[in-house]
Amino acid sequence: MFNAVHNAGSSVHHNGMSLFLATVPEGVLFHHGTTRPESPSDPDRLAYEIEHAEGFTRSFGGPPRQTKPHPEPMPGGAANEQKIIGRTTHLSDHETGWLHVYRTSRPLQFLYVDGMSGGKSANGTPDTQDYLLRSDPSYGKAEREASPTIDLGERKRAQSLCKLCKEWNLQGIIRMEAGFEIIKCNFTDGMDQVQVFRRPGSRGRGKLWAETQHFEYLRGVAERNFDIRSSRTVVDYSSTVSAFFFPVNLANPDPKRPDLPRLSEASHAELVALKRIFNGHY
């Protein structure tokens, strides 16, 4: 619980089991990288750090990738790499994408899902979203068994989560992947577009530039290593609802990872009761 809003803590305890209400104050800047100059018309991501968003303006459509393998890869491997939620457009090396900058025009209310809930892995990082919030225990099961590196329908997940947010009068979901991000349900609700500009392509920049961008990306997201920081997001700890508070089966079916709690083994009755408590709380 004490690691719930810490970047490093969520990386270690990446199967989060807790939910919080959080407020983003007026005047906070967010960034969105894309291949198009138009604002998203569907739910999509906002990055707290410009380096995070920059990755989605490049030809490979994601944060800079390390050319050498990690000595200790994150659970789920390539499945943890962030993917664009909306319609994807692949750019060639000489083409460029767009960086959007937004500013909140009023305080916005979000649901913060702890752990590495933005990570796309088969190890349980999306459990709270899929088993508890979406009440869909079978979601992505066949896909996970067929290929643990696939996207697991991130766009569908975002759309269904935003339907819940509308019922609760919330503007989206705050999650952590490499850094903190927001699934913003409606880009015209409570935000002003400050700037949209093209970003340079990667053609002719060389291997050193690509490797430098990777470390710039890590440096940027590490700015929130200790917490999200109250100047950007205020977490209401009194709103905490956690599976750790109730007699829910959090056993991991993988005998090799008993340290990672899961909701996959929780009974239907347990999940229904937990969600009822959650709905009553919010």
Share of the chain above pLDDT 90, in %: 42
Per-residue pLDDT of 70-119, as tens digits, reads 433 333 433 334 455 654 444 454 567 899 999 999 999 999 999 888 88
Tokens at 51, concatenated: 């380096």
Question: Is 242 a residue whose pLDDT tops 50?
Answer: yes
From the number of C-beta atoms within 10 Å of its C-beta (0-12, 13-18, 19+), residue 92 rates as: exposed
Question: Is 224 a residue whose pLDDT tops 70?
Answer: no
69: confidence class by pLDDT, cuts 50, 70, 90: very low
Secondary structure (DSSP) of 167-193: HTT--EEEEESSSEEEEES-TTSSEEE
Judged by average pLDDT, the poorest of 107-111, 189-193, 274-278 is 274-278
CA count, 13 A, side-chain hemisphere, 50: 11
Q: Of all helices (H) and strands (E), which one includes residue 213?
A: helix 206-221
**Does residue 253 or residue 3 have the better pLDDT?**
253
Q: What is the mean pLDDT of residues 158-187?
A: 93
Q: Provide CB contacts within 8 A for 232, sequence distance 6+.
A: 24, 25, 28, 48
Judged by average pLDDT, the poorest of 42-51, 131-140, 234-243, 259-268 is 131-140
Share of the chain above pLDDT 70, in %: 65
65: confidence class by pLDDT, cuts 50, 70, 90: very low
Q: Name the residue among 40, 76, 70, 34 with its Cα closest to residue 55.
A: 34
Count of beta carbons in the 10 Å neighbourhood of residue 179: 23
67: confidence class by pLDDT, cuts 50, 70, 90: very low
CA count, 13 A, side-chain hemisphere, 198: 7
Find out whether 98 and 167 touch, Cβ atoms under 8 Å.
Answer: no
pLDDT given for residue 178 in this prediction: 76
| Cα 102 to Cα 172: distance, rounded to the nearest angstrom | 15
